[in-house]
C-alpha cells in the first residue's frame, strides 16, 4: 500500500509516469486516476516466477524502464524496491537524472534475522550498500530503519529521509455492518471471541507467526476460553494447512479496497483482538496501523511494532518475544472487554494524529526540491508539473 498511496498523492502535484510489474498484481483494475498520472505495466514474462527478485535480471523489465524514460524524459527516477535499483542506476547514468531509492525494508538485515545462508546475506549486503551509495537520496519508512542503514553502511544522516507508512482512516474504520457480514460468513455468533493475524503467509516471519499461534497460543487460549476462533487472514497459506485446527480459519486473500465486500477493514472489525507474534523481519508493519485505524486492540512483540510510535500499555500491548508474557497479555485481554475497547480507541487516535498518507507523501516534494538545489536535476518545474518516475 506504500506504493499505492505514493502514486495517489504524489501525482496530485507532480506528473508521474509509473512502471509497475504484474509480479505483485492481485488481478484488479487500476483504480487511481489523475491527469498527471500514467500507469504502465512491464509485460508478463517467464522471469516473473522469481517474483520481485526478477527485477535484478529480467531484460524485459530493463527494456520497459528504458523505453518509458526515453519517451517521457522524466526529471526524477524513483525506485520503490531495492531490486529495481540497478535498473534505476542505469537510467541515471544514461539520462543524467537523479535517483531516489525508497527502502521498504533494510533487506540485508531482514534476511540476516531470518537466518538466511551467508552467501545470500553477503550478496544482499553488497547490493544494498551499492544501491544506497549510488542513490542521490534514500527514503526509509522509519527512524529505526534509517539508523540501521547509517550504522551498517556508514551513510550520512542528511542522505536519508524518513517517510513512514500510514493507514487510510477512511478505508480502515470500524464497521458494525462489516463485523456482522464477516461473522455471518463464517457462522460466528456475536458472543464468539475472534483473534486475528494478518499477513502474506508465504513470508518467513509470517509463516513462523502462524506456527506460534497454532502450537503455543491457540492451545492455552482455547483451554480457558473454548468459544474462541482464530482468523488467519492472508494469501498463500497452503503450506500452513498442516497446522490448521478446529476453530482456526484460513481466509485466503482479502482485498483492502473500500468497494470490496467484505474487505480487510470488515475482517478487522469482526475481530476482537489482533495478535502479531513476529520474531523477525524489518520495515514498518502496515497491518498494525490498519488494525489500529479500525480501533482494534493489538498484542505484538517488540520487533513486530518496530518503527512505529505506539505507547505501550496505552495504545498497544507489547512483549519482548513470543513467550509466556505474550500469551499472558493475550489471555488478559480476552477476559477484559473494557480494556480491549480502550486500547482500540487510543490506537485509532494515534493513527489519526500521526499517520496521514497525504501528509507523509507530501515530503517527497521536499526531497525533489533538495535534489534540485544541489543542481542534480529539475524535480519540480513550473506549476508543479514536472514528472516524477517510479520504477
Task: Please give, one letter per residue, the 3-state secondary structure of 305-351.
Answer: CCCCCCCECCCEEEECCCCHHHHHHHHHHHCCHHHHHHHHHHHHHHH
Residue 16 pLDDT more than 50?
A: yes
Q: Is residue 364 situated within a structural domain?
A: yes
Top pLDDT among 321 and 272 is at: 272
Residues 179-193: what's their mean pLDDT? 94
Q: Is residue 187 situated within a structural domain?
A: yes
Top pLDDT among 289 and 384 is at: 289
pLDDT tens-digit profile of 270-315?
A: 999 999 999 876 555 789 999 999 999 999 999 888 888 899 999 9
Residue 387 pLDDT more than 90?
A: no
Cell match 513486530: residue?
304
pLDDT at residue 110 in the model:
86
Number of domains into which the chain is organized: 2
Question: Do 186 and 143 lie in a common domain?
Answer: no
pLDDT tens-digit profile of 53-72?
A: 899 999 999 999 999 999 99
pLDDT at residue 281 in the model:
63
Q: Is residue 171 situated within a structural domain?
A: no
Q: Is residue 309 situated within a structural domain?
A: yes
Per-residue confidence at 374, pLDDT binned at 50, 70, 90? very low
Question: Do 312 and 301 lie in a common domain?
Answer: yes
Read off the CATH number of the domain in which 181 is found: 3.40.50.2000
Question: Do 70 and 53 lie in a common domain?
Answer: yes
Question: Do 131 and 153 lie in a common domain?
Answer: yes
Name the β-bridge partners of 233: 198, 252
Per-residue confidence at 269, pLDDT binned at 50, 70, 90? very high
Question: Do 190 and 303 lie in a common domain?
Answer: yes
Instruction: State what percent of residues in the chain have pLDDT above 70.
Output: 92
d(CA 327, CA 224): 12
Report which listed range, 18-27, 29-38, 281-290, 300-309, is most confident. Answer: 300-309
Domain enclosing residue 18, as ranges? 2-166+356-390
Residues 77-104: what's their mean pLDDT? 94
pLDDT tens-digit profile of 124-178?
A: 999 999 999 999 999 998 888 999 999 999 999 999 999 988 988 889 999 999 9
Q: What angle do CA 83, 105, 305 make, to 5 degrees?
A: 160
Residues 2-13: what's their mean pLDDT? 86
> Of the ranges 2-6, 35-39, 128-132, 364-368, which one carries the lowest mean pLDDT score?
2-6
pLDDT at residue 369 in the model:
87
pLDDT tens-digit profile of 212-259?
A: 999 999 999 999 999 999 999 999 999 999 999 999 999 999 988 888
Amino acid at each position: 500500500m506504500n506504493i499505492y498511496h505514493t502514486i495517489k498523492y504524489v501525482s496530485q502535484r507532480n506528473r508521474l509516469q509509473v512502471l509497475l510489474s504484474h509480479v505483485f498484481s492481485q488481478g484488479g483494475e487500476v483504480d487511481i486516476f489523475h491527469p498527471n498520472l500514467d500507469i504502465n505495466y512491464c509485460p508478463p514474462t517467464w522471469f516473473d516466477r522469481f517474483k520481485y527478485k526478477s527485477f535484478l535480471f529480467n531484460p524485459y523489465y530493463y527494456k520497459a524502464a528504458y523505453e518509458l524514460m526515453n519517451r517521457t524524459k522524466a526529471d526524477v527516477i524513483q525506485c520503490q524496491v531495492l531490486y529495481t535499483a540497478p535498473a534505476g542506476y542505469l537510467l541515471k547514468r544514461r539520462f543524467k537524472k537523479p535517483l531516489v531509492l525508497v527502502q521498504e525494508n533494510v533487506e540485508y538485515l531482514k534476511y540476516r534475522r531470518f537466518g538466511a545462508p551467508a552467501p545470500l546475506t553477503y550478496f544482499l549486503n553488497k547490493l544494498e550498500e551499492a544501491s544506497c551509495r549510488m542513490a542521490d537520496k534514500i527514503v526509509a519508512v522509519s527512524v529505526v530503519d534509517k539508523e540501521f542503514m547509517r550504522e551498517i553502511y556508514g551513510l550520512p544522516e542528511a542522505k536519508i529521509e524518513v517517510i513512514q507508512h500510514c493507514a487510510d482512516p477512511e478505508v480502515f474504520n470500524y464497521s458494525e455492518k462489516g463485523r456482522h457480514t464477516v461473522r455471518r460468513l463464517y457462522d460466528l455468533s456475536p458472543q464468539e471471541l475472534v483473534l486475528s493475524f494478518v499477513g502474506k503467509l508465504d513470508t518467513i516471519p509470517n509463516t513462523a507467526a502462524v506456527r506460534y499461534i497454532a502450537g503455543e497460543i491457540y492451545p492455552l487460549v482455547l483451554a480457558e476460553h473454548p468459544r474462541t476462533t482464530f482468523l488467519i487472514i492472508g494469501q498463500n497459506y497452503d503450506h500452513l494447512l498442516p497446522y490448521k485446527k478446529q476453530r482456526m480459519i484460513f481466509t485466503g486473500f482479502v482485498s483492502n479496497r473500500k468497494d470490496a465486500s467484505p474487505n480487510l477493514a470488515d475482517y478487522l472489525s469482526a475481530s476482537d483482538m489482533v495478535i502479531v507474534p513476529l520474531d523477525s523481519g524489518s520495515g514498518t508493519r502496515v497491518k498494525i496501523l490498519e488494525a489500529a485505524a479500525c480501533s482494534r486492540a493489538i498484542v505484538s512483540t517488540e520487533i513486530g511494532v518496530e518503527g512505529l510510535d505506539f505507547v505501550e500499555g496505552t495504545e498497544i500491548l507489547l512483549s519482548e518475544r513470543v513467550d509466556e508474557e505474550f500469551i499472558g497479555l493475550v489471555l488478559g485481554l480476552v477476559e477484559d472487554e473494557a480494556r480491549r475497547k480502550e486500547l482500540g480507541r487510543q490506537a485509532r487516535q494515534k493513527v489519526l494524529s500521526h499517520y496521514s498518507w497525504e501528509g507523509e507523501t507530501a515530503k517527497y516534494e521536499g526531497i525533489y526540491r533538495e535534489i534540485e538545489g544541489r543542481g542534480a536535476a529539475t524535480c519540480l518545474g513550473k506549476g508543479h508539473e514536472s514528472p516524477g518516475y517510479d520504477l
